[in-house]
Chains A and B, each alone.
Chain A
Amino acid sequence: MSATVVDSDGRVSAVASAANPVVIGGVHFRLLGSGGDSAAAAMAVEEDRLPLVKAIDGAALLVVVAGLGGGTGSGALPAVLRLAASRSVPTLVFTVAPFRIEGVERLKSAAAAVRALEGLGTVRVRLSNDDLVADAPECATLPEAMARADSVAVAALSLIWSLCARPAYLRLDPATLLETLSRGRGDAHFAFARAEGADRAAVVAHRLLEGPGPALRVHADDIRGALVGVTGGTDLRLAEVGAAAGAVSGILPTGTPVRLSVALDAVREGALEVAVLAFRDWAESSATGDEGAGSTSIHAPDRFAGVAATPIGGENLDDPTWLRRNLRLAL
């Protein structure tokens, strides 16, 4: 697992020196940032794509977290996802919309950026800063609120890391994770809750379903599959795992597949953390063959046999569109 921070602002090199900073558009932007110009940021990725290609090539999964509303996140994200797709690297994308107080212009820019992601990324999760700090007390300072927003993004990343890498009773091996993302391709919801103390399981279950923050109950009807990750310390109890998984399964339509993974992590001693990735689509079949782990092969037409597949946005475009869209033909 490695991290890369991409920005058009040269200061990223100083603040993220440990995370392989990549400054894009250095010549054009003079390291001062994109100035809100998303088109220029997209071009900057094209111009400076060598370090990005280096970071992406060979990865089994690319997890991307991007803040929308400005120029770099909105413009560079689609270009980065296209780079990943061209190399058959599946992507799990978290986009974070700006706070409402940031103004209409930035909100509109974020909405346009979301539209531009159509067809890109294997699984896409939309979050907003307002939701992420929904449980912050009114007296929270600005740094505290921002830290709380960041913690959810960190939770998303550490969930995957912990579930794959830490000692686990139900370990999520990378192949299963990729297969799950392949089945749940498209848009997904994300919910995260953390609690400590004797009633931590009940608190976590309530927060996952009702909020504050990104919650699942309002989306329950359009969830077709879910990945539930539970992490805690050595004091994690079986009943608590059951309570968390049961709470999620309980609100979903009967028969909705829920995949559970449980890992122990020393840094979470005394706490219970549960993160849920709830998919709005769930394919009957998953990625197979040599066309790249990020694409889903539904049908292998002879017309394209023997040539490289066309993986874009986690799908193999050589497969018939009507099949991939589960279109019911008027036969």
Chain B
Amino acid sequence: MESRTVVVVEPGTTRTVAIAGRRHKDTGRPELLGFGSVNSAGMRKGRVSNPEYVAKGVEQVLDKIDDATGGGFRDCIIVCSCGDTSFRNVEGRVALSTREGEVGVVGEADKVRAVEACRKPETLEGRVSLDAFGQGWRLDDSPETVLEPIDREARYLSRRAMVPDMPLAEIEAFEKVFSDCDVTVRHEIFSAAAALSAATTQQQREDGVLCIDFGGGTTSWCLARHSRIEDIGALPVGGDHVTNDILAAFRPGSTMAAERLKITHGHAVLEGVPRGERVPVAVDGGASARTVPLYAVAQVVNARMDETLRLVRSSLESRGATHLLGAGVVICGGASLLGGLPELVTRVFDAPCLAPTLSSGIEGFDREPARYATIWGAFTLALEKDARENARAERRTFLGRLANWFEKEDRA
């Protein structure tokens, strides 16, 4: 069955990108229909600070994919990286037999019921719960977590999940912006989870990997081990702060000039940076009016990136999660392209810094995984959710329920 077209928008602090596509009707693989990317304005630290400017960027990027999709879409999924992201662990438990306490055999329908039972924890005041990340299954009161419970016998099946949450006001601000563009937000995806799903391999997620998404306004992370997400978090600090630090240190004349200095000469470690060398500050218009010491630029960048990484490490340590990095750390996002950052990451986490990988089948994306992992990951996660919702809708029909009953009887 051909899936419907899914549109994913990432309203970032530096750029707003959008992707439209669907699942291929024969191969089942994600099929790209359209892609757009425009400069952002009106976003600070992952939040909407000027709704009009953000709406303008969203309109522009949706225009770019409108032609490719034939237009007419009225809803989308957005990728968020709010600096105040937290999570709660929840568990949904269902009986496997209609007679309380009787042993039953786990079927697909039981899994769906358990997922639904743990999907909606009590919502904290002023916050919104996002889609849960599954953390495995539990049979009866066993402390052991199993990845696949199908055909196992037990009295109860429990689904363990991690539920991220973000401030309601920030989500509502995004929804208002999209509403002004006549588009409804179907749901939100946490950016680092999207990056993790696309930029890391199955083996890395099994061994233990931390994926850090260095965005313009935020730094978010997601840690996976044994193929389940163990920790997530975000800081409202990103590449914008590096630019601002450079602006304050060298007064290059404009934010754009500071941004250029960061991209061209920024280095996250001091080792190897020559002390005597000076680099030109390219002012707007292109002429090099003055020079600044390269080493001082590296000092500014190193101080900010080192602080940010240590805050991430500190958060992991507080949850006892640093020992889970069996494979290492994968970095992505625009700010991850800073020179020397892999060395700094290795030093701070005492773990290898791995290059992100992307297998989208689209040459432009796969060539620059650090830039496109998040949007591609969000797209594939959105397709998976769409497929799950379709399957759930089918189960709710009379024939679907009948099929579930037959499946159950057959297993019993």
Contacts and interface: CB of A to CB of B under 8 A. Distances in A.
Given A42-B318, A327-B303, A331-B296, A307 B87 contact: no
B244 A116 contact: no
A309 to B, nearest CB: 10
Given A47-B88, A47-B89, A39 B303 contact: no
Interface in A275-331: 299, 301, 303-304, 306-307, 310, 312, 317-318, 320-323, 325, 327, 329-331
A197 to B, nearest CB: 46
Given A47-B88, A119-B314, A120-B314, A327 B299 contact: yes
A322 B241 contact: no
A306 B49 contact: yes
Contacts of B296: 329-331
A320 B293 contact: no
B319 interface: yes
A304 B47 CA distance: 12
Interface stretch (B16-24, B189-197, B245-253): B245-253
A75 B318 CA distance: 6
A164 B87 CA distance: 38
B237 A310 contact: yes
B249 A310 contact: no
A24 to B, nearest CB: 12
B213 interface: no
A145 B56 CA distance: 68
Contact of B319 (A39, A120, A299): A39
A303 B125 CA distance: 30
A118 B293 CA distance: 30
A329 B300 contact: yes
A299 B248 contact: yes
B387 interface: no
A116 B299 CA distance: 25
Contacts of B255: 303
B360 to A, nearest CB: 33
Contacts of B178: none
Interface in A37-76: 37-39, 42-43, 46-47, 49-50, 75
Contacts of B292: 331
Interface residues of A, number: 40
Given A301-B244, A330-B295, A321 B314 contact: no
B245 A321 contact: yes
Contacts of B328: none
B241 A317 contact: yes
Contacts of B303: 321-322, 325, 327
B84 interface: yes
Nearest to B50: A306
A37 B84 CA distance: 25
A29 to B, nearest CB: 13
Given A303-B240, A304-B44, A307-B47, A329 B299 contact: yes
A310 B124 contact: no
Contacts of A320: 244-245, 248-249, 300, 304
Given A303-B244, A317-B237, 15 more contacts: A38-B320, A43-B89, A47-B88, A303-B243, A303-B247, A307-B47, A317-B235, A317-B241, A317-B307, A320-B248, A322-B303, A323-B248, A325-B307, A329-B293, A330-B295
6 contacts: A39-B319, A47-B88, A118-B314, A303-B244, A321-B300, A322-B304
A-B interface, 10 closest residue pairs, ranked by CB to CB distance from nearest: A39-B320, A78-B318, A116-B317, A320-B245, A321-B303, A303-B244, A329-B296, A116-B318, A307-B44, A321-B304
